[in-house]
Amino acid sequence: MNKIINILKEEKSIPLDKFINIALYDRKFGYYMNSNPFGKQGDYITSPLVSDLFGEMIAIWCIAFWENLGKPKKFLLVELGPGDGSLCKVLLNVFKNFKEFYNCLEINLLEISDVLIKIQKKNIKNKKVKWIKKIDKIKFGPIMFLGNEFFDSLAIKQVFKKNNVFLEKYISLSKDRKKLEFLYKKADKDVIKKIIQLNINCKNSIIEYPNDAILYLNAVAKNIKKYGGGLLAFDYGYTKIKGGDTLQSIKKHKFVDVLSEPGKSDITSHINFDLFVKILKKNNLIAERIVTQNEFLQKLGIIERANILSKKNDL
Domain boundaries, the chain: 2-29+156-208, 37-155+211-314
Mean pLDDT over 108-124 rounds to 95
Can you give the C-alpha Rg of the chain in angstroms? 21
Mean pLDDT over 57-82 rounds to 96
pTM: 0.89
At residue 152, the pLDDT reads 93
Give the model confidence (pLDDT) of 265-315 as tens digits: 999 999 999 899 999 999 999 888 888 888 787 877 666 766 665 565 554
At residue 242, the pLDDT reads 63
| Distance between CA atoms of residues 24 and 150, nearest Å | 13
Half-sphere exposure at residue 232, Cβ-oriented, CA atoms within 13 angstroms: 21
Percent of the chain whose predicted confidence (pLDDT) is above 90? 62
CB 200 within 8 A of CB 272: yes
Report whether pLDDT(243) > 70. no
pLDDT band at 43; cut points 50, 70, 90 = low
Which CATH number is 37-155+211-314 given? 3.40.50.150
At residue 311, the pLDDT reads 61
At residue 253, the pLDDT reads 86
At residue 1, the pLDDT reads 55
Mean pLDDT over 84-109 rounds to 96
Mark out the alpha helices in 43-150 (DSSP H runs): 47-50, 52-68, 86-95, 99-104, 114-123
Cβ-based neighbours of 176, under 8 Å, separated by 6 or more: none
Beta bridge partner(s), residue 47: none
